[in-house]
Amino acid sequence: MMLVLLMGYFAVIGDNGLTVYKQKRLEDQQLAKQIESLKAENERLQAHVERLNSDPDAIEHEAREKLHYARPGEVIYTLIEKPDPHRAGSPRLPSSGSGSPAPSSAANQ
């Protein structure tokens, strides 16, 4: 009887037991999802490479977007975003304390 209980214990909890089997099955499913995701990304990147190898417009678009290239005579304007005061870590502008803007010098004349 004791031998049967001992064998049952190792069958469920041992190094190759059901608990380890279930963990390995879950890990296998997660890795299969990751493989499928990487395959899809690889296909997308392969299509992008083929487009760059065959389409001059795609090359120009990539050069303009990533390298900020321009054609002769073109001017590129870069817009700088104002800091968002609601975002954490963004610098806050000092306030005058009254809540209303200070009067301009042109209004006083």
Residue 39 lies in a domain: yes
Distance from C-alpha of 36 to C-alpha of 19, rounded to nearest angstrom:
26
Neighbours of 20 (CB within 10 A): 13
In-domain check, residue 48: yes
In the prediction, which pLDDT does 109 show?
41
Domain of residue 31, residue span: 17-67
The number of domains in the chain is 1
Whether 60 is covered by a domain: the verdict is yes
Residue 73 falls within a domain, yes or no?
Answer: no
The structure tokens listed for 3 are 């031998």
Assessment of whether the complete model's pTM goes beyond 0.85: no
Phi/psi of residue 47, each to 5°? -65, -40
Provide the pLDDT for residue 93: 52
Is there a domain that residue 55 lies in?
A: yes
Summarize pLDDT for 19-62 with one digit per residue, the tens: 888 899 999 999 999 999 999 999 999 999 999 999 999 999 99
